[in-house]
Amino acid sequence: MKIAATESRIAQIDADAIVVGVDDKGNLSKEALEVDQAMGGTIAVLVGRKEITGKLGELTVLHAPAGIRAGQVLVVGLGSRDNFGCGEAFRAAATAARRLAEKKRKRVAFCLGDGWSERCVEAGICGAMSGCHGQDLYRREKNCHPFDEIQWNDGYEAVLKAGQILGETVNLTRQLVNEPPSRIYPESFAAEAEKFAEEFGLGIEVWDQPRLEKERCGALLGVARGSARPARLVILSHRGGSADDPVLALVGKGVTFDSGGLSIKPSDGMQTMKCDMAGAATVFGAMQAIARLELPVNVIGLAGLVENMISGDAYKLGDVLVARNGKTIEVLNTDAEGRLVLADVLDVAVERGAAKIIDLATLTGACMVALGIDVAGLMTNNQDWCDAVLDAAEACGESVWQLPMFPEYGEQIRSKVADIKNIGEGRWGGAITAAKFLEEFVAGKPWVHIDIAGPAFLENPKPWMDAGGSGALVRTLVEIARNWQNADA
């Protein structure tokens, strides 16, 4: 997809559609005023009649408008100017794009940048690119038609490029999540990482089965035992800083399909379990963006890739696994497998010299019970580091909420036959006891765990995005990396 700046007066833009904005007080943006004047005041009349309210994401389509060269004008609500930020910019542009993508269009001009910050323009472009891509990868008749070209007014070349990179990497994450498990499995997932690492100059290591055994990754390999697909561990590296600069580690759970193992899921619970690698896909998308943006920081991205399947060799309830850091783990539920995979990968991140760590995982249904399906849960051993992640998410308009990590939760994972067990006591606080389990493997490094079980995969479409993989938190990770050079690491 081509991203370009508009080069002519808005009324004369040669495009299939023009998108302009109105806020919730009926104020037309500078671009909307220009279009309105060319049309003889049609938009102002509709605003006066309350047909257009300016509510965020509200859409009004004006077909074959007089005085405008484009085939149609789409007026999108921008909501409150006082509360307008990157999240609103993303959502407004994405909602408009999703409506326009219902039909094939070569060129769409987004004339929304009146007074927007550079980061809002980036978010808007990312939203426009996300809105016109869907999950219909294998449909002969597509429901969603990406545009050949997006034009954006009032944006510098560097800002347009950054917005395009964010859009492409969010969509990369979404596509990886949307691919079927017969297409994305540990070996093929690692191969995808190798391809983009070579293209964009990322360092990469891929640990195969013998290397994982040599590295004593007993927890990860325990989960992988039931599958015919051998496990992989991928380590991506971006060395944009100097050799002695601190290293940020991004760690992702990559269970490419989760049957639940012997603690088997019901069919309804298994239908979307191709998405259980969304943490790894998010890390891959963020690492590609960091490399392409040429950020002057040192970042490593690590992902443990396994299938959790059932066979005669599958790991069992009552098994004791020995993790890479030497801790023994009693297995009392084989469907609590993601934390076992992450245990070994977190230890590798520590060994590789990470100053601070973020892990992302579709880890628990309990987090969705606590926070719903649209909000990611944050848990941490270091409040200052968690505050930095919260600030980055807020700046991007992505929804996260911190959950407590009181010591009492850690007592629930103590085992009578091993050092720890992979589930807590009963149903209560399951997201937090899972995080307390992961904390055992970060060696006291500042660490934030992000449970993305809810927002990583949309079972139903939103006005601004098709169902399926969402790419949630890619932009937040990039924002953290952008701020990393200024962090007290």
Please report which residue ranges of 179-253 form alpha helices under DSSP H. Answer: 186-200, 209-214, 218-224
CA dihedral sign, ordered 468, 341, 261, 414:
negative
Check residue 126 and report its DSSP letter.
H
Whether 339 is catalytic is yes
Check residue 64 and report its DSSP letter.
S
Catalytic residue among 339, 436, 445, 482: 339
Helices 474-484, 383-396: axis angle to 10 degrees equals 120
Whether 327 is catalytic is no
Catalytic residue among 55, 81, 265, 327: 265
Where are any strands of DSSP class E within 98-216? 107-111, 149-152, 203-207
Cβ 269 vs Cβ 193: under 8 Å: no
Task: Quickly count: other Cβ atoms within 10 Å of residue 136's Cβ.
Answer: 16
**Using alpha carbons only, how large is the chain's radius of gyration in Å?**
23
Strand pairing class (320-322; 328-330): antiparallel
Across 94-132, b (16+ Cβ under 10 Å) vs e yields: bbbbbbbbeeebebbbbbbbbebeebbbbbbbbbbbbbb
125 vs 3, 315, 411, CA distance in Å?
8, 46, 47
Catalytic residue numbers read: 265, 339
